[in-house]
Structures are given as C-alpha cells and as structure tokens.
Amino acid sequence: MARKKAEKKPVPPVVIHVSPSGNDRWSGRLPKPEARRKDGPMATIHAAVARARRYQGKEGLKRPVNILVRGGTYCLTEPLVLNERDSGAPRSGNPWTDFTQPKLLTIAAYKGEKPILSGGRRITGWKTSRVNGVDCWVAAVPEAKGGKWNFHQLWVNGKRRERTVLPAKGFFRMESVPDKKEGSGFQEGQQTFICHEGDIRQWKNLRDVEIHTFNFWIDEHQWIKRFNLATRLVELDRKSKFHLLDEWRKEGAQYRVENVFEELRKPGQWYLDRKQGLLYYIPRKGELPGKAEVIAPCLPELLRIEGRDPDKKAARGITCEGLTFKYNEWVPKKDWSSSAQAAHEVPGIINLKNARNITFRNCVIEHSGTYGIDLESTFEARVEGCTLRDLGAGGVKVWHGCKRTHVLDNEIADGGHIYGAGVGALIGKTMGTRLIHNHIHDFYYSGVSVGWTWGYQESDTWGNIIEHNHIHDLGKYMLSDMGGIYCLGTQQGTRLRFNHIHDVFSRTYGGWGIYTDEGSTHILIENNLVYNTKCGGFHQHYGRENLIQNNIFYHAIENQFARSRFEPHSSFTFRRNICVIREGLFWKGDFRGANAVMDGNMYWHEKSRGLKGQFAEDFSKKTAKDGKVDFRRWKRLGFDRGSIVANPEFVNPRRGNFGFRPGSPFARIGFIPFDVSDSGPRRPVRTEVQD
C-alpha cells in the first residue's frame, strides 16, 4: 500500500508594519507594550518594499511577505514603483496533486484601519481678502511662480472645486474657423477661430485661459496664445485634434472658456495666478481658512507595477488590499489637445505593464486627474470590490495585450472631470476580459467600450464577457456618438448579457444604449434591459453576424433602433426582443435588401396603443419615396414577418419595474423572462491578511 504523501505546512509570511508614526530605520516589527520605544513600524511603504527585497531569490520571494499599513495619510513625494525584483514566486507542481501556494507580496491595510496614499499637497497660510468685489482667501504658492507646479485641480475638505467657466450654462459657439481648408477631413485640426462679440476679452493672464471644445466624441484642451479684440481672432497655443466645426455641420464648434480671473466670484471657485504665485479661493458657507483642508495634486501617478517584459521578466504575484489612492494630475505633452477617442492616451493613478497575477481588492481610488487603473500587457490581473470615483478621465482601462483580466464587483463613478471622453471601463485589444457585476455611472462618454480595431481586419480582441453590470447616467448632453456599451471591430466570443442600461443622453447624435460600431462582428447581445435613451436602445453602424435576442428596449426619444450602413453580408439577427416606445419610431437606417434577420419580436407604441402610422424611416429612400415605412410595408421588405404588435404588460416601466403582469403575451414570441435586479456589485469581497 502506497504511503500518503505528507502535506507541506504553509510557510508563515514575513510581516512588515508601516505607520505614520514609524521610522524607516526600524525593523517593521510591532514592539511589545512594555518594551522601550527603540524599534517598531517603518514610516513609508517605499522603505518596507526595500526591506521585502531581502527575501528575494532567483525565482521570486522565498516566503510570503505581508506589508501591513496602519491608518493615516502617507503623502508621497514620488510614486511607489514595483518591478520584477518585488515579485512573488509562481505556483509550482501538478495542479491536480501537488499544487503549492504562491509566495506573494501583499500590501494591505491593517485590520479595521484606513491607510491613504496621497499624491497631493496641502495648501496652508491662507489670508482673507477681496477679489472682484467678493470675499476670498489667498495663499502664497511660490513653486507656481517659478513654473515648477502648475495644477488644474483643487479639493477642499475632500470635495472637488471648479475653476471659473464661461458661459455659466451651455456653450459658446465659434463664429467661424478661417484656417479650415475646403475639402479637408474632420481629423484635420486648426489653431485659430473667430469668436462672437463679447465671448472673449483681453483678460488678465490671457495665456492661462483655456478653450475647452466639445466636438464629436472628444473634448479638446487648448490655451489662448493671442487675441485680437478688433477682429475677434483667437490664436491658440496648439492645433486641435479634430476640426473646429460642429461635427458634420459647417457652423463653428461649441466650447467653454475656463480659468478667467475676472470671473472669480462664486463660492467654490478658485484661480491660480502663476505670475504672482498666488492661489485664490472663494469659500463656501461654513468653510474657515484655518480649518479647511485644501489639497492640490503634485504627482502624475501614485503606483506603478512594471516588469521588463510580459513573460520571463514580468512583475508578478503582488496584491494591494484595503488601500486608498487619491490626488494626482497628469501633464500632457505641449502639442497634445486630445486623444482621437476615449481619452485613451491618459494614464492612470495606478499603472500596470508587463505584469502577471496582480490583484487590487477592496481599494478606493478617488480625486484623480486621470484614469483610475491603467493595465497594459498584463496577464491575470484582478480589480475586485473596489470603489473608483471623482475621476479626471475614466475608471478602469484594460489596454492592449492584456489577457484574462477580471474586473468584478466595483463601483466606477463620477468621471470625465478633466478629460470628458474618459470611459467607465475601456477595454482595448484584449482576450478574456471579464467585466462582471460593476456599477458604472455618471460619465460624459460611454460606460463601457470594448475593442480597438476599425473595420473587418484581423483583431486581437476576443472572448470578452460584459455581464450583470448596472450602467447609467451617461453623456449628459456633453459629447456625441456613444453607448452604454460601445463595441468596435471583430471580436469572436464577446458577449453582452444581463446588463441594466439606462439614461444615455448625447449632446447631438449618438446617445445609444448598445452600440456596435465600425465592423463589430460575432457579438452576442442577450438578456439586457435598456431604457431612457436619447437616440435609441440599439444601433449598428456596420458589422457582421451579431445576435441580438431576448432583450427589453423601452423608451428612446428619437428612434429605438438603427442600422447605418447597407452591406452585402448578414448584418445581424434581431429576434425575440420586446420593444416599446412612447414617441418617435422603431427603426431608422439603410434597409436596402433584407440582409438582416428581424423576426419574432414584440412591438408596442404606448401613445397610439399599437402601431398606427410610421414604423420605420429608410434614409436611403429606396423603399419609399419619402423614406417612411409603415408596418405592412416593413413586412413586405422581408422584416418581422413573424413579429407581433402587443402590449407586454410591464408592471410599472416608468418606475423601472419591468416585471410582467398576469396575462402578458411575452410567451407568444418565445421570450424568456430574465432578472437584472442583481446587476451591479454583489456583497463585499472579504479576505484575511495574516498578521
């Protein structure tokens, strides 16, 4: 009889303590209460990481290392950088018989405490004064005078405060763009425009005044170089990314003017006078200069985990748990005005590259001037149970080369404060990304973006799973051409299921719930609830062989569905969907040829109590002289021949209850009821870090 192999006892971890009251010359051990204070925790995580390197071998850590961080604020003077020298050891052995535990480097909050890693600096020395006829505070910031510190964000008592903005509501519009060449494309930018009378004046520190333009799906940042009051010609310091016309129109683009000293009047506004080295702030009610915590960002990032390459020299086996990261600002290069889409060039407050088996669990990322977390060329990373809020751009960027990334049970909210085109979850050329049970809301552009290949070219994007997410309050009439979930390119095996999407409102066109753009192919869209959109629940620009089935689409202001381009192949199959509108029409687009399957659906118009009048509009005008198509003509075109017109009998859709009343006819189309009540984060993710 074979002897049973003795199980190896797990090696206890080395524990290194860090405390704001510690000392980097100490050992990191907690002294006994009766001992004299000659030893104890270290003062910085940087020093603790350096101490952990003593336990490194050729293959990584010889034993696990837990760095336990006590509560308090750690003001970083430089980012924390981890690389392959800080890696844990990989798992070894046969996974079915002798699978040993990896030796990990863990940086975690001490039990029940809240450590904060801050990239900001507190502004003190406030004096009361008056500016533009109102009471204000003034503080000296000598580094700003020398040009070493130029910040564009400020927080008071943990709340983001804004610079001055003109107009107070809405936008200005450029009168004309003189250097726009006839026949040039929209991606050819300009550097001058003529403003309307009175919109721009000869303000103080004119070169610090920012022109923030909103055009198509991006927002642009340019600064005034010169202004001719007589001709109203505004010369900008850099060229725009897109043309300065209003999307596809010939009229000038819409813009805002930010950071004007003469407009500093409202409580909560601030202004940095770089020439004088002075910071002005108009306090809100109850704020006192000696007690308010005023923070400006100093560092571009707080944490970077980066190996030499994604395989043999990857940074690996690192976990961060229960930490809070806050306050940063990224300074783009001088000629940069915007990314071409999704603010994708903006990095994160946390950045990963060439990393493996990295976990962020129960962390908070807030008050950023960038994305929250940026991952690139990373394998098996996890972001779970985290809160990302008050973001300068987007939330989580899973960028090119990432494989098997897990973004689970997070709240990702309140973004785009600096770069309005930031996306809640931006997924590039990735494989096996799992974006599941997240609450994504309050962005000015898309909630989720998947894929980064235009057209039908070969793609490195496949097998991405977007499920059980609650996605809402997007666009807010700021940008155009967006979706609650936005897809790009060929991506075999990608599936969008059980997502709860609502309240998507674009500035002009393109406020869609689910949007398959530019060659989106082989995507399953199933069991999603989409309602309250500006331009439609579903729109396909062009793509191939997508399957849209068993979804509920309710109330779009303009039209519920659209297909922009006719192509000879099968565009999509649209079946067993329940489609209800209050106004507008159901379908709009190019319907030459029945190269899309639409059948077995249920349609209902609440106001007309059925389908009276226009059902679709064909903008190619190949199906009718005026492009208008009623339901009978629609069926003769080969669409929805087996579909029905019936009231689905929702319980109370205007209050978000899409359950069915008794007697609902949903079974007539083979619709299978689904539940999205559990969309968004599940119960908190809990683990124990050994002390």
Q: What is the pLDDT of residue 628?
A: 86
Average pLDDT over residues 558-576: 94
Statement: residue 5 has pLDDT above 60: no
- The C-alpha atoms of residue 88 and residue 85 are separated, in whole angstroms, by 9
Contact 689, 68 (CB under 8 A): yes
Q: How far apart are the first and last CA of the chain?
A: 41
Which amino acid belongs to residue 213?
T
- Which residues make beta-bridge pairs with 139? 279
| 667 SS3 class | helix
Q: What is the pLDDT of residues 155-168, one digit of tens each?
A: 999 999 999 999 99
Q: What is the pLDDT of residue 626?
A: 75
Among 134, 127, 384, smallest CA distance to 284 is for: 134
Q: What is the pLDDT of residues 495-533, one digit of tens each?
A: 999 999 999 999 999 999 999 999 999 999 999 999 999
Q: What is the pLDDT of residue 151?
A: 97
Q: What is the pLDDT of residues 467-478, one digit of tens each?
A: 999 999 999 999
Banded pLDDT at 319 (limits 50, 70, 90): very high
**352 vs 310, which has greater pLDDT?**
352
Banded pLDDT at 605 (limits 50, 70, 90): very high
- Looking up tokens 């303590």 gives 17
Q: What is the pLDDT of residue 687?
A: 66
Q: Percent of the chain having pLDDT more than 90? A: 85
Chain-centroid distance, C-alpha 674: 27
Average pLDDT over residues 368-383: 98
A 10 A CB-CB count for 39 gives 16
| Three-class SS of 192-240 | EEECCCCCCCCCCCHHHCEEEEEECCEEEEEEEEEEECCCCEEEECCCC
- The C-alpha atoms of residue 395 and residue 633 are separated, in whole angstroms, by 46
- Percent composition of the chain: helix, strand, coil (DSSP 3-state, to 5): 5, 40, 55
Banded pLDDT at 31 (limits 50, 70, 90): confident
Q: What is the pLDDT of residues 412-464, one digit of tens each?
A: 999 999 999 999 999 999 999 999 999 999 999 999 999 999 999 999 999 99
Q: What is the pLDDT of residues 164-213, one digit of tens each?
A: 999 999 999 999 999 888 878 899 999 999 999 999 999 999 999 999 99
Return the domain boundaries, the chain.
14-113, 121-296
Banded pLDDT at 4 (limits 50, 70, 90): low
Q: What is the pLDDT of residues 480-494, one digit of tens each?
A: 999 999 999 999 999
A 10 A CB-CB count for 135 gives 11
Q: What is the pLDDT of residues 634-681, one digit of tens each?
A: 998 899 999 999 999 999 999 999 999 999 999 999 999 999 999 999
Q: What pTM was estimated for this model as a whole?
A: 0.96
